[in-house]
Amino acid sequence: MITVTDAVVRYPAARVNALDGASFEARAGCVTALVGPNGSGKSTIVRALIGQVPLATGHARIGAFDCATADRRALARTMAVVAQREEPAFPLPARDYVMLGRYPHHGTWSALGPADVEAVDRAAHRAGAESLMDRRTDALSGGEWQRVRLARALAQGGEVLVLDEPGTFLDVAHEMAAYELLEALAREGRTVLLVSHQLNLVARFAAHIVLLHHGRVAAAGAPADVMRGEVLEPVYDWPLVVARDPAVGAPVLIPLKKR
């Protein structure tokens, strides 16, 4: 479970707080989506969870760990993060890259063993990246790279998964497959926190949506509670309507033309 309580983050030389008292929860067993306009604080929350930005006040917790003080390696065994951008400086075979997900399970000198190879194979299979394992990371398309990164996060093996825009660069089929996989992973008992701009997809797969605005939680709840015109319009500052998808019955956001 992820618990963020009254989190305040101020970047040096910034005039306003990037997070301004945000509180929310992401429970185990379901997908929680973190949405909001650009600059609303979504990525700052992800960076606070991995200890890359200090909280001025408030707390960010993963289960029993306090993100600010926890042993980083123990935290990495509990929570795997797929950040927005990540690219090896020097190309690797994809299998070696996925294997990096096993590093938090090892000390300085302990060798990676058969258990790690097995975890990597299992993760690659689940992420649909098996056929990519022998390719080099710089020879993968954007979508293939996303799947390999998801495999790396799964190889880490934590109870908590945090993904920043997992659908980027994926075509419709792969995007749907990725979201279905995340839903399945959550049903197995994991905590899945999803940062996304894809409100319509999120509305179908997330059980809980947290809408951020200016570093604060503007609304939070089931998709039906958050996906409402009067909630979203002031936050995105754009005229829009929310309809109901005729095929699957999920709320669908339709942005209108401004003039």
Binding site for another protein (CB under 8 A): 47, 50-52, 72-77, 79-81, 83, 85-90, 92-93, 96, 100-101, 103-104, 106, 108-109, 156, 162
Q: Compare residues 60 and 235 and give the one whose CB is closer to another protein.
A: 60
Judged by beta carbon, residue 83 or residue 220, the one nearer another protein is 83
Cβ proximity of 176 and 200 under 8 Å? no
Beta carbon nearer to another protein, 102 or 204: 102
Distances (CA, A) of 67 to 2, 13, 17: 10, 24, 19
Q: 147: which DSSP letter?
A: H
Q: Are 91 and 82 in contact (CB under 8 A)?
A: no
- From start to end of the chain, where are the E strands? 2-9, 19-26, 31-35, 57-62, 65-66, 79-82, 160-164, 191-195, 208-213, 216-221, 240-244, 251-255
Q: Minimal distance in Å, beta carbon 86 to another protein? A: 4
With H, G, I as helix, E, B as strand and everything else as coil, classify residue 61.
Answer: strand
Which one, 92 or 250, has the nearer CB to another protein? 92
Q: How far is the CB of 198 from another protein (least distance, A)?
A: 21
The single residue listed with the structure tokens 């299979």 is 125
Given the complex with another protein, which of 32 and 156 has the nearer CB atom?
Answer: 156
Provide the minimum distance between the beta carbon of 158 and another protein in the complex, in angstroms, as a whole number. Answer: 10
- Interatomic CA distance for residues 124 and 168, integer angstroms: 19
**Nearest-approach distance from CB 126 to another protein, in angstroms:** 19
Rounded Cα gap, residues 27 and 163, in angstroms: 15
Supply the minimum distance, in Å, between the C-beta of residue 228 and another protein: 33
**Residue closer to another protein (CB basis): 85 or 259:** 85
71 vs 188, beta carbon nearer another protein: 71
State the DSSP code for 14.
-
Question: Which candidate, 73, 128, 132, places its Cα nearest to that of 97?
Answer: 132
The answer for residues whose C-beta is within 8 angstroms of residue 125's C-beta and 6 or more apart is none
Q: Report, in Å, the least distance between residue 62 CB and another protein.
A: 12
Least distance in Å: CB of 83 to another protein? 5
Q: Mapping DSSP to helix (H, G, I), strand (E, B) and coil, where does residue 225 land?
A: helix
